[in-house]
């Protein structure tokens, strides 16, 4: 299988750098082909702007959606964007690896999503009617591919627990797992999260335990059950309001209601 | 009062551009002083990396926290970072204005947070003991200042409702309102959110209604009741686990449990 790792950490000698090497080797030694988009090493441009789109009509106001659609369909995107889209098409699986910065992904990775996820490539596709509201949330160009987050966090696990001050990790990752990965069709595997990770704080025991768990996750990557997000057009939602139908997870609100296994 | 608007939209002739002009004028005409950090116009560098810190020891691995602390304390940050920190110190209020991109702030604004929020400026301050876990979530250098988000979203309001497919807007904004604004001490006002905003879709009626509501929010800015997030060191949390004490919002989990008015 083909694996794309989108990696956002500034320092190769960090724990993240070591874990990246580890997972690349493990995927390869178990028969898979890996490409890494090392965003810091590539000096990835994070800002989505008019410079991303070639041969724009002069004087026309910039509109991210309209410009993105035109450029994607006419082959007028910058080369760096096209290359990442080709990697996504090539991949059977995508791992996004990053340290949690201010409760979300680093800016450089957010900017990868904003620029690579072109209109009519990752969104704005499919019929919009009262039965179907675009090919998204379970449908889309990434359908049939798997994705997983590999995240390191400075805080303690309890700080990210269901009643922890930072909010539950599952909820913090929902906008990424549901809004960025499930949206264009990926099956999203449960995330791999390492807690209490800061400069120079990882001893040999913790490293051994992390790589042991990670090895298992990689070896089970193709058989792990994805998070059971509810397909938008599968009958659970009223269309076009896109609210859960009254009989689905009755009384539940919030992110967890969009996972079918969490109905109480 | 002094108002800093941190603004992230690429096109001045957009609705966001008009709303920015509108709020600047309204704050000024009601006696306040405004500075705008127009991140796209400033060509703000979004990526936090070793180039942000002057006179680094050659060959030492980059560590965002350690480097940031050293540079902040020794006056060895790049000029663009220092200038934004000075604006934050100057401001009595901060408005962050942006279009929602992939369920969060645009990369360029995320990179403003990552670079300007230096270690020992916005985090890593105060005593860490079993009674107090840093000056954060209600304490910190921004204590006594107010902050508000002004957000435009392409989707419909129902899509962001308590049972909407995107997740509730309050939850999507929690990592920003609680994790980025309340964290260093801001009092966070309820957000101003405009829905169904896309290219060329705003007619005169909608614009009039948006500016009317916005004018009211600005005129009531200094008296509006902030979101009642729970202070981390105020007795609601066990320290250092930082989980809500059993008698606080018993049985509640998730983001809403960290607001005292939402106890059921």
Which residues, in sequence order, are CB contacts of A133 under 8 Å at separation 6+? A232, A233, A239, A240, A242
> Has residue B129 been placed in a domain?
yes
Sort out which chain B residues have CB atoms less than 8 A from A162's CB and list them.
253-254
Q: What number is the average pLDDT over the span B231-239?
A: 97
Q: Distance from B80 to chain A by nearest Cα, in Å? A: 17
Token match 């910190």: residue?
B140
Give the residue on A whose Cα is nearest the Cα of B170.
A254
Whole-number average pLDDT of chain B: 95
Residue B212 lies in a domain: yes
Q: What is the DSSP letter of B139?
A: -
**A219 part of a folded domain:** yes
Choose from B12, B52, B98, B102 for mutation: most chain A CBs within 10 A: B102
pLDDT of res. B98: 98
Report, as an integer, the average pLDDT of A129-141.
Answer: 96
pLDDT at A28: 98
Is the model's pLDDT at B82 over the cut of 60?
Answer: yes
* CB within 8 Å: B167 and A175: yes
pLDDT(B27) > 60? yes
Mutation choice for B interface testing from A152, A165, A183 by most B CBs within 10 A: A165
Residue among A13, A159, A171 minimizing CB distance to B254: A171
User: Do β-strands B146-152 and B187-188 pair in parallel, antiparallel, or remain unpaired?
Assistant: parallel
pLDDT confidence of residue A58:
87
State the average pLDDT for chain A: 95
Domain count for chain B: 1
Tell me the chain A residues in contact with residue B166 when contact means C-beta distances shorter than 8 Å: 179, 242
Domain assignment of residue B39, yes or no: yes
Q: Report whether A194 contacts A210 (CB < 8 A).
A: yes
Enclosing domain of residue B127: 2-227
Closest by CA to A261, choosing from A234, A225, A221, A232, is: A225
Residue A200, pLDDT score: 63
Is B259 within the bounds of a domain?
Answer: no
Given a cut of 60, whether residue B231 has pLDDT beyond it is: yes
Query: What is the rounded CA–CA span in Å between residue A196 and residue A130?
Result: 47
Nearest chain A residue to B43, by CA: A47
Interface of B with A in 162-221 (CB under 8 A): 162-168, 171-172, 174-175, 178-180, 198-200
Size of interface A-B (CB pairs under 8 A): 196
Residue B243, strand partner residues:
A164, B238
pLDDT at A101 over 70: yes
Residue A71 has what pLDDT? 96
- Could you give the CA distance from residue B100 to residue A113 in angstroms, rounded to a whole number? 13
User: With contacts defined as CB-CB under 8 Å, which chain B residues touch A117?
Assistant: 102
Closest chain A residue to B12, measured at CA: A61
Question: Is the ipTM beyond the 0.90 threshold?
Answer: yes
Alpha carbon distances (Å) from A69 to A52, A66, B107: 12, 5, 20
Residue A201 reports pLDDT greater than 80: no
Query: What pLDDT is attached to residue B202?
Result: 81
Chain B segment 20-39 residues within 8 A of A by beta carbon are none
The confidence score (pLDDT) of residue A264 equals: 40
Residues of B in contact with A10 (CB under 8 A): 48-50, 62, 64
pLDDT average, residue stretch A26-36: 98
* pLDDT, mean of residues A152-160: 96
| Distance, CA of B226 to CA of B217 (rounded, Å) | 12
Confidence grade of residue A197 (pLDDT, cut at 50, 70, 90): confident
Q: Is residue B201 very low, low, confident or very high in pLDDT (cuts 50, 70, 90)?
A: low
Q: Hey, are the CB atoms on A167 and B159 less than 8 Å from each other?
A: no
Q: How far is CA B136 from CA A15, B113, B243, in A?
A: 26, 16, 15
- What is the band of B199 on the pLDDT scale with cuts at 50, 70, 90? low
- The residues in B 232-251 lying below 8 A from A, measured between CB atoms, are 232, 237, 240-244
Give the one of A103, A199, A253 whose C-beta lies nearest to B63's C-beta.
A199
Provide the pLDDT for residue A95.
98
Residue A198 has a pLDDT of 73
Q: What is the pLDDT of residue A196?
A: 87
Domain at A21, CATH number? 3.40.50.360
Higher-pLDDT residue of A199 and A73 is A73
Query: Locate tokens 């990689």: which residue?
Result: A218
> Could you report the per-residue pLDDT of B115-137, keeping only the tens digit for each?
999 999 999 999 999 999 999 99
Q: Flag whether A94 is in a domain.
A: yes
B264: confidence class by pLDDT, cuts 50, 70, 90: very low
CB contacts, 8 Å: A40 with chain B: 47, 49
Q: Which of A65, A101, A102 sits opposite B199 (nearest CB)?
A: A65
Q: What is the average per-residue pLDDT within B147-161? A: 97
A120 touches chain B (CB under 8 A): no
Question: Are B156 and A108 inside 8 Å of each other by CB?
Answer: no
**Cross-chain Cβ contact A61/B163 below 8 Å:** no
Q: Which residue has the higher pLDDT, A261 or B263?
A: A261
Chain A residues with beta carbon closer than 8 angstroms to that of B254 = 162, 167-168, 171, 254-256
Helix axes A204-219, A15-29, angle to 10 degrees: 40
Are B171 and A255 a contacting pair at CB < 8 A?
A: yes
Among the partner-chain residues A14, A50, A163, the one whose CB lies closest to the CB of B244 is: A163
Asked if A111's CB is within 8 angstroms of B199's CB, the reply is no
Closest by Cα among A146, A206, A156 to A182: A146
- Look at residue A233 and tell me if it is in a domain: no
**pLDDT over 90 (residue B58):** no
For position B198, what pLDDT does the model report?
A: 73
In a domain, A239, yes or no: no
Do residue B107 and residue A111 have CB atoms under 8 angstroms apart? yes
Contact A137 B50 (CB under 8 A): no
């Amino acid at each position: 299988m083909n694996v794309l790792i989108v990696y956002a950490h500034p320092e190769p000698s960090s724990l993240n750098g070591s874990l990246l090497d580890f997972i690349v080797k493990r995927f390869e030694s178990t028969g898979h082909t890996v490409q890494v988009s090392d965003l810091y090493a590539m000096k990835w441009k994070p800002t989505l702007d008019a410079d991303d789109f070639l041969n724009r009509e002069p004087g026309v106001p910039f509109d991210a959606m309209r410009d993105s659609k035109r450029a994607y369909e006419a082959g007028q995107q910058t080369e760096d964007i096209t290359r990442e889209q080709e990697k996504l098409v090539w991949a059977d699986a995508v791992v996004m690896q990053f340290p949690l910065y201010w409760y979300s992904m680093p800016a450089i990775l957010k900017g990868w999503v904003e620029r690579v996820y072109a209109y009519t490539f990752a969104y704005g596709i499919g019929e919009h009617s009262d039965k179907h509201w675009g090919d998204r949330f379970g449908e889309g160009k990434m359908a049939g591919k798997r994705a997983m987050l590999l995240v390191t966090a400075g805080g303690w696990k309890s700080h990210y627990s269901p009643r922890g001050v930072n909010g539950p990790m599952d909820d913090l990752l929902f906008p990424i797992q549901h809004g960025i990965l499930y949206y264009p069709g990926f099956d999203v595997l449960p995330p791999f999260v390492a807690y209490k990770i800061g400069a120079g704080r990882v001893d040999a025991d913790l490293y051994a335990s992390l790589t042991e768990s990670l090895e298992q996750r990689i070896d089970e990557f193709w058989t792990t059950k994805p998070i059971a997000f509810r397909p938008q057009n599968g009958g659970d939602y009223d269309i076009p309001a896109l609210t859960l139908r009254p009989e689905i997870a009755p009384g539940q609100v919030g992110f967890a209601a969009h996972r079918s296994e969490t109905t109480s």
